[in-house]
Structure 1
Amino acid sequence: PEQFEQLKEDYAWSQQVQREARQQAFALTEVVQRRAHFGYSDSAEMLSGNSDLNEKLRERLEQAEAERTRAREAMRTHAAQLSQYSQVMASLKSSFDTKKELLNDLHKELQDIGVRADSGAEERARIRRDELHAQLSNNRARRNQLEKALTFCEAEMDNLTRRLRKLERDYHEMREQVVTAKAGWCAVMRMVKDNNVERRLHRRELAYLSADELRSMSDKALGALRLAVADNEHLRDVLRMSEDPKRPERKIQFFVAVYQHLRERIRQDIIRTDDPVEAIEQMEIELGRLTEELTSREQKLAISSRSVANIIRKTIQREQNRIRQLNQGLQSVSFGQVNSVRLNVNVREAHSTLLDVLSEQHEQHQDLFNSNRLTFSEALAKLYQRLNPQIDMGQRTPQTIGEELLDYRNYLAMEVEVNRGSDGWLRAESGA
């Protein structure tokens, strides 16, 4: 590309030489074609005289043809180079146009963004670069802060989501409990109205108590009634079902069952009411009055402990005499290997000790028999427990134990003995 002008000049000079050579060749061709017309008389002399000229011209023609050939080859070479350089020029021109167009676009963009390409452009660009770097650093720091805040918000959102789900589960559970409680309350209201116990449950003082206080009262009441209903199979089953914490309405069922049980057993000849609670209150009042009357009558009819012991002993002796008479009749009874049968009756040791104390040492236990709060039966039971602390009385009351101690039959221990000959008298056993 740097020798393009030189090559262009050489190509123009070669074309000029080629034209001159063509003109000379054309002139020589014309001369040769017209040689036959040159038939002058002195042509021989001219030929002989100009033979040297012809030789020179021939040599000159050969040289011209050789030069023409060389010029033609040079022209072909220059034409090939011209074609090659034209292609290079076209490529360079296309690249130049592209780059020029790119340069124009860049100039236009610079104009659009307000950049002036002058001596201070580099300094302004450096300042602008520093500002952009600072903004980029600030944006990155801000992005990091926002990413941390986003992470924290996502964690908080997850926590709130879990908490929301837990609250929803708790809400559904509480809703189910409320629905169950409402259904139970409706069932309780129907049960209360059907059994006419609404007045007993709708008490004003219960409305101001908390759930724990009401539950404590209910548990205490159920605990007190557990022993009272131990002998009643129906009430015991209802009480067992009422202990289910998921079914509190069953406590009302137990209350209604107890209420009906008491209502069925009210003595209408003594108590003039259908309400068991009022009946119990009236019965307690009547029981106190009857207890006082019984105590006064017992004091009027009281006998000494020595007299009681003597009466019981005489009764035991009378029964022992009857058993001896019965044994005389049993002497003739025999079957199998048994020769004879008899009844052996002895007084129990603990009861014998009780009779001895009543008859001989009653002064030491006057605190029991002189007490106005104890009946004679209860005092007798307390004395028996004092003399025999090792004996378990179970759930029986002192009144019941005292009544049993006044029955002479509880003092006797009866055994059946058989006589098999050489073995003598032996106690009869089941299956012997």
Structure 2
Amino acid sequence: MSSLPAVDDICWLIGPETGELLDRLDSGAGSLVPAARQLQRYHSPERVRLLLEQHELRRKAIDKFPDAGRMFFLPRTLEQATDIHVARYKAKRFPAEERVADLCCGIGGDSIALAERGPITAVDRDQATILLAEANLRILAGARSRNRVHEFLAEDVLQLSVASYAAWHLDPDRRAGGRRTTQLACYVPGPETIERLLVERKEGAVKLAPATELPQSWQQEAELEWIGRDRQCRQQVAWFGTLARSPGLRRATVLRTRPHEPPLVATFAAEAGVRPGVADQVGRFVLEPDAAVLAAGLDGALAERHGLAALHPGVPYFTGDTRIDDSMLACFEVTDVLPFDRRRLRSLFRERGVGKLEIKTRGIEERPEAVRRDLRLRGDGSAVLLLARLGRRVTAIVARRVT
């Protein structure tokens, strides 16, 4: 694990001197090699490395932050940062115009969104990181946010009291040992600190990896929400106190981003473990739940809500004869149903000139790329091939993607 940059180097990085240097690198004018050689004539190797790294991180961050070209990052903090779309969705749960503590704030993904709602106190134990968070908020803050008094503290959350805040948000380090973990006991800060924070102020939110399992007592009093954006489950959040809209339930939320507009939001809360009926044949449509729905264990509840049946017990492919327009479900219109036979499929796709094929599998051992090689596809046509069990046999479902 690489060490964090020195504080004086970070102060230089976010200062006025580097603006033109970064703009020149980010503009893409020419190769980075001569640019690096030029920089080495005037700056230390560490500062040149910081500039070049910043150029690369801004490029990587564009998916999370549309304004990444004006922001500052560190590799580890970018990986864990909440993207701005998810952060703004989460921030709506927090009380407006009341001070909220953002603990283990990193480079400020959640802080930026919370500051649009009210005054914040951003806390991180690393001085270099808190400087980046402050710079990012200053750069991106809207007029209302700039008029609020925000605080940035380089402190250890272990020593901090949240009793005086209206609510708090915590993003524990999930790579404290150098490797990513989903085990709550390995988070820093860990369960003991979270319990203390909840005693001091019940209104709290803990950001977690989607696969993290929580103690049963937490599951009963909190609302657990899995948030997805653009077909990927981004994070799990445990909401406590009055921030929990449906205590004891699970929630799946799906965001669909749009250029220059707020994302479309679909959300669904229910109990996990619902088992819908099993189909004896494939209907007109096959539907696949979003990754956030699957992570939340709400695929059965969502299928039951729409009157869908499972193709096979425990496999999250569902079928029905009515088109379902729900952004939490990918919908495929079925054109052919046949036993999984490579020769028959190869012949069918050759007849239809299918060269572009999306292959999806659930609950079987076949690997999509191996199937693709065997089919030897050619042509300009496109289709979707779904492979799943129907009864005891593997069935091939040829379809077109509707949503």
TM-score bucket of the superposed structures, by smaller chain = under 0.3
Larger Rg: 1
Bigger proportion of residues as strand:
2
Bigger proportion of residues as helix:
1
